[in-house]
Amino acid sequence: MRTLLLALFAAASLHAADTAKASLMAGAATSNITPPLGSEVVGGFLPYPCTHIHDELHARCLVLDDGQTKLALVICDLLGMHRSLCVTARELVEKETGIPAANVLISGTHTHSAANAIGGPVRFYTSDMELTDYQKFVARRIADGVRRAITLLRPAEIAFSTVSIPEHVNIRRWFLQPDKMPPNPFGKIDKVKMNPGAGNPALIEPAGEPDPIVSFIALREPGGRMISVYSAYSLHYVGGVKDADISADYYGMYCEALKRLQSGGNDDPPFVALMANGTSGDANNINFRNPQPRKKPYEQMRYVAEDIAAKVNAALSKVTWQSSAPLAARYRELPISWRKIDPELIAWAKDIEAKTPRIQGKADLPLAYAGRVQRLAQASPETKAPVQIFRIGDICIGTTPTETFAETGVEFRKRSPFAKSFMVELANGYYGYMPTPRHFELGGYETWPGTNNLEPQASVKMMDALMEMATELK
């Protein structure tokens, strides 16, 4: 009997050891989510119909399998996605592949040249909505892309690294000389201004610091071809499209540039690059101290994309590869409160709506915010704000469903129990900007009600939840 027990114990120990050292599998694929011509392009205050497709939009999908757990990472060439779209896509993935919905991470890049996947006029102020036809299409294509990535699963080695590329990211919130600060749409004077104008002589200093780090996870066939690179960079977007074009912005161009740099990148199955938006809610590509000459359409985004791709590719030659990486995930929906609207602001909004003339094709900021303020005031008291943690070996990814400030991403890296950590914003939903409490005191576009839709402590509550989940997985 003792011999039998020892044999069973030895077999169980060997099985546990084999499981712990199980080889990693990885597969990657893309799924086209380009909208039809005439679809509304969002990114500004007045949506307009697209008239040309400059480059196709995609859902780029990566699936990892450690023998026990599968994770799916999806990045869509979209400004953002409503929570209900992401819920539907994650449910489809679970039903059709068996990957639990909590193990599916879906984020938007924040290209400003994509069709509307957030929804109608009340889209910012609700956690649940009935999907539009385009949202249903995107959810379907996300699920298809994950299924295609699963069919391409094969043994893989994994590596992680970072590269600092500070020259493309700049803080866009600035302190100005006190007498030079223009009033905001509500008739008040903020302490900082968003996008104050390159070369503005009233500039004093930026209200924060950008995050220059590109974090990336690389997958390759053992000792051979590259499978995929999942990257994150805290650059809001670049812009500079022509007319009413659809474009994936620098995110898509980066993916194609990195693919061209891989040996056999177009072989079957092709290499798939993914570029997520890190935490860029207060950053962009404009150097306000040193204005640059106006570029031709697509020139600047192509320059940024190819430069980042070249630097990431150079870093790939120095990484250390591993053949295993235990996988795990945590997902929560937090009951964070919507932004409270004071009766005084409601009265202001009604007055603006009553006295402001409507001019076709012209955006009026006070009028736009008057509508936003009233819709936000009618939101239910609490949201279903999704946050998520992925553990991939000794790598940790944390997410937010907002346009998140750079300092939040830096804080996550410093506080995470995993030394290799980074954040992805605009994940599993869209809730507008999420300034830190410090920035609420400064005001500015990102803090205005209707641009910011969550309570001032939202960033603190999300960070606390992310740290709890990361500690659980550690």
Helices (H) and strands (E) in the chain, counts: 10, 24
Contacts by residues 91-94 (CB-CB < 8 Å, ≥ 24 positions apart):
92/139, 92/140, 92/142, 92/143, 93/142, 93/143, 93/146, 93/147
Give yes or no for residue 163 having a pLDDT over 90: yes
Work out the angle between the directed axes of helices 343-355 and 365-377 (0-180°, nearest 10).
Answer: 140
pLDDT digits (tens, 9 = 90+) for 374-387: 999 999 899 999 99
pLDDT digits (tens, 9 = 90+) for 39-82: 999 888 788 999 999 999 999 999 999 999 999 999 999 999 99
Distance CA 387, CA 126 (A): 16
pLDDT value of position 15: 43
Taking the C-alpha atoms of residue 30 and residue 214, their distance in angstroms, rounded to an integer, is 22
Nearest to 398 by CA among 382, 416, 384: 416
Average pLDDT over residues 419-424: 98
Question: 108-137: buried (b, 16+ CB within 10 Å) or exposed (e) per residue?
Answer: bbbbbbbbbbbbeeebbbbbebebbebbeb
| 3-state per-residue secondary structure call for 396-410 | EEEECCCEECHHHHH
Continuous segment of H or E residues that includes residue 277: strand 272-277
Strands 173-176 and 193-194: antiparallel
What are 351's two structure tokens?
């007055």
pLDDT at 84: 97
Higher pLDDT, 314 or 358: 314
pLDDT tens digit string along 333-345? Answer: 999 999 999 999 9
Q: What is the pTM (predicted TM-score) of this model?
A: 0.94
Q: According to the model, what pLDDT value does residue 357 have?
A: 87
Q: What percent of the chain has pLDDT over 70?
A: 95
Q: To the nearest whole number, what is the mean pLDDT of the chain?
A: 94
Q: Which residue has the higher pLDDT, 381 or 246?
A: 246
CA atoms in the 13 A half-sphere facing the CB of 229: 32
Task: Spell out the alpha helix ranges (H) of 52-162.
Answer: 83-97, 133-151
pLDDT of 266 above 50: yes
Strand partners of residue 269? none
pLDDT at 347 over 90: yes
Q: What is the DSSP string of 138-157?
A: HHHHHHHHHHHHHHT-EEEE
Q: Quote the CA–CA distance of 406 and 283 in Å, as a whole number.
A: 7
What is the H or E stretch that residue 275 is in?
A: strand 272-277
DSSP 91: H
Question: CB–CB of 293/128 below 8 Å?
Answer: no
Q: Which amino acid is at 437?
A: P
CA distance 456 to 202: 29
Amino acid at 467: M
Describe the strand order of the beta sheet including 420-424 as a list of residue ranges: 327-334, 385-392, 395-399, 420-424
When pLDDT is averaged across residues 195-219 and rounded to a whole number, the result is: 97
pLDDT of residue 178: 84
pLDDT value of residue 20: 44
**Tokens at 239, concatenated:** 């812009």
pLDDT tens per residue across span 438-465? 999 999 999 999 999 999 999 999 999 9
The predicted-structure confidence for 106-142, as pLDDT tens digits, reads as follows 999 999 999 999 987 767 789 999 999 999 999 999 9
Q: Is 427 helix (H, G, I), strand (E, B) or coil?
A: strand
pLDDT at 2 > cutoff 50: no
Residue 14's pLDDT band (cuts 50, 70, 90)? very low
Q: What is the mean pLDDT of residues 290-298?
A: 93
- Which pLDDT score is estimated for 188? 95
Q: Is the pLDDT of residue 8 over 80?
A: no
Residue 161 burial by Cβ neighbours in a 10 Å radius (0-12, 13-18, 19+): middle
Say if residue 6's pLDDT is above 70: no
